[in-house]
Amino acid sequence: MNYLLRIVLLSGLNVLLVLPSFSQGLSFSYLIPKDGYLSAPISPFSIRGIGVDMGFIGIETGFSLYYMGGLGMKGLPFDAGKPLTGPHMSLLIPLQLGLIINGKFVSMRLKGGGFGLWHINPRINEGNMDRALRDYQSWVVLNSDLKMDNSLGGGWIVDTSLEFHVADNFSISTEFSYLKGHTKSSLEGTYTGADNSGSLQTLSASFHDSKISLEGFEVSIGVVVDM
């Protein structure tokens, strides 16, 4: 899995470096993740729409550095329904193949592909984690002490965009995307709490299948310059 994700990341970076004639876009994007908080770009570190057009087909890449207010987790024996990580920063690098429908004043792009994902120093939302574990154990109080592994991740992305041509080499772009992916982030540690009887106990936690989930919608607006 990590090997394939490195290929996506490196391929995206290679497209940035070797294309002789390409378009470049600067965008502001917002993520609306499932079981998470609204995530905003860290300006100016969001450059998308870098690629080359080959008639009706194009290839695009770029990157976005996001401030993730909170993301959900999956692969746990309980469903929190709330963000269990965050806040932290995350780097997203897509690589997409697209169908281009060109018009004189407006162009449409239908794209699909994959993305690489790296969370920078992700942290556990301890308040939401404690409440989720408390409900899972049916305890009245609980305090956790967990550590989380961090690794590369990724997933797939599909989107549609409209480019409004306001000059020969300059366009305003609006884009609507759906993403689904994760990073493997196992949890290890202990948690201590008590049930209605008041007896205090400490249990070990080893959630090796847990993952930080990135699933939801991305809305972007930006500019595209043809080089």
Element (H, E) at 27: strand 23-33
pLDDT of residue 227: 61
DSSP string spanning 42-59?
A: EEEEEEEEEEEEETTEEE
The pLDDT mean for the chain works out to 86
pLDDT of residue 48: 78
Q: Specify the pTM.
A: 0.82
The 3-state DSSP class for residue 183 equals strand
Evaluate if residue 10 carries a pLDDT over 70.
no
Q: What CATH number is attached to the domain comprising 163?
A: 2.40.160.20
Whether 193 maps to a domain, the answer reads no
Whether 16 maps to a domain, the answer reads yes
pLDDT of residue 169: 81
**Inter-residue contact 162 to 106 (CB < 8 Å):** yes
Amino acid of residue 227: M
Q: Tell me the two tokens of residue 87.
A: 């806040």
* Residue range 68-88: mean pLDDT, rounded: 94
Q: Is the peptide bond before 20 cis (omega within 30 degrees of 0)?
A: no
Amino acid of residue 183: T
Q: Return the ∠ at Cα 74 (arms to 120 and 179), rounded to 5°.
A: 65
Whether 144 maps to a domain, the answer reads no
CA pair distance 20, 26, nearest whole angstrom: 19
108: containing domain? 2-125+149-188+213-226
- Count of domains in the chain? 1
Whether 14 maps to a domain, the answer reads yes
Q: What are the backbone dihedrals phi and psi of residue 13, each rounded to the nearest 5 degrees, phi first?
A: -65, -35
Q: Where does the pLDDT of residue 45 fall: very low under 50, low under 70, confident under 90, or very high at 90 and above?
A: low
pLDDT of residue 197: 87
Q: Where does the pLDDT of residue 23 fall: very low under 50, low under 70, confident under 90, or very high at 90 and above?
A: low
Q: Where does the pLDDT of residue 43 fall: very low under 50, low under 70, confident under 90, or very high at 90 and above?
A: low
* Residue range 173-183: mean pLDDT, rounded: 94
Whether 55 maps to a domain, the answer reads yes
Whether 136 maps to a domain, the answer reads no
Element (H, E) at 12: helix 2-18
Whether 71 maps to a domain, the answer reads yes
Whether 22 maps to a domain, the answer reads yes
Q: Where does the pLDDT of residue 8 fall: very low under 50, low under 70, confident under 90, or very high at 90 and above?
A: very low
Evaluate if residue 11 carries a pLDDT over 60.
no
25 vs 218, which has greater pLDDT? 218
pLDDT of residue 20: 41
